[in-house]
Structure 1
Amino acid sequence: MDNTPLRRTLLGLGVALGAFVGGWAFFAPDAFYSSFPGLGMHWIDVDGPFNQHLIRDVGALYLGLGAASLGAALSRSAQPGRIVGLAWAVFGVLHFGYHASHLEGSVGDRVGTLVSLGLSALLGLALLLPSRARTPQEPLQEPSARAADRSGVVR
């Protein structure tokens, strides 16, 4: 099963999300704490005192997920993207669940938090889906047969 353009696009969104949130949290934890997600909204500083260690850990987690997304996007196979999708889905669903049960800030902040975290969880869930169903005309081939089809030589 090949890595489709849609899966690569979703993985690219994972790279961007990981770089944005992770880079900001890890490299500028004070600014992340006081002004994330930007645009005058405050989603972090309303939830307790500043903890540089925790914020940098979250940044490192997002950077790691972004790096794994990049590696999966560069793969020819869909399988790495599905595995990265599992990681994004577990993290995203649990993260969404926490914030859905601990709403803080203005109404706009609450809505923004739930929408952004919901989309993040959906990103992971979408990456878990198979690329496409095999059509009845497509025979199931062994990996060695597929390699022979592409190169003319059985490996």
Structure 2
Amino acid sequence: MSRAIPILAGLFGAGLAANGIFMLASPEAWYFAVPGVTTTGPFNQHFLRDIGLIFILIGSGFVYGAVRPGSRLLIWSTGAIWLSGHALFHFWEVAVGICGPEVLPRDFPAVTLPALIAVALSIWSFRHADR
């Protein structure tokens, strides 16, 4: 299992980076392709590209950590913090009435699940870090 986790982390990172590349290369297509995004506000090319850069950075960090064990705890934890903050923000929007609770299951695969995966990978890297 210890060999499989870095491979899975690398694939996870590649997926995050691919999402970011899609956001940079074709922000309008991304905006209309991802379920629920159009209900969060008007299309904003600049904002989507900013977030795309974040996804590329975080994804690259998971890929890098997959091949550089000494760096993974810090890099993966940093990515997990941002992804978790993003997920918590979605929950906050429901809590204060900006969105209804029906958005949480819709957003789960693209928002909450990546945060949970990142946290799990960070915990795994902490438990397997050379001390």
Bucket of the pairwise TM-score, normalised by the shorter protein? 0.7 to 0.9
Q: Does 1:83 align with 2:74?
A: yes
Deviation at 1:85, TM superposition (A): 1.7
Match of 1:44 among 29, 37, 40: 37
Q: Is the 8 A contact 1:100 1:114 kept in 2?
A: no
Q: CA deviation at 1:20?
A: 3.0
User: What residue number does 2:120 align with?
Assistant: 126
Paired with 2:93 and 2:114, the residues of 1 have a C-alpha distance of 18
Q: Deviations over 1:113-136 (max 9, x none)?
A: 1344222112221222234499xx
Structure 2 unaligned residues grouped into runs of 5+: none
Shift of 1:82: 1.3
- Report the counterpart of residue 83 of structure 2 in structure 1: 92
TM-score, normalised to structure 1, is: 0.68
Distance 1:92 1:133 in 2: 22
Q: Matched residues, percent identical?
A: 24
Q: Which runs of structure 2 are paired with 1:4-153 in the superposition (5 Å)?
A: 4-36=2-34, 42-75=35-68, 77=69, 79-103=70-94, 104=99, 107=102, 109-129=103-123, 130-132=126-128
Letter of the 2:120 counterpart: A
Give the RMSD, CA atoms, in angstroms.
2.6
Letter paired with 1:74: V
* SS of corresponding position for 1:101: helix
TM-score by length of 2: 0.78
Query: 3-state DSSP class of the match of 1:49?
Result: coil
Runs of at least 4 residues off by over 6 Å? none
Q: For the structure 1 residues 96 and 83, does the alpha-carbon distance in structure 2 shift closer, same or farther, using more than 3 Å as the test?
A: same
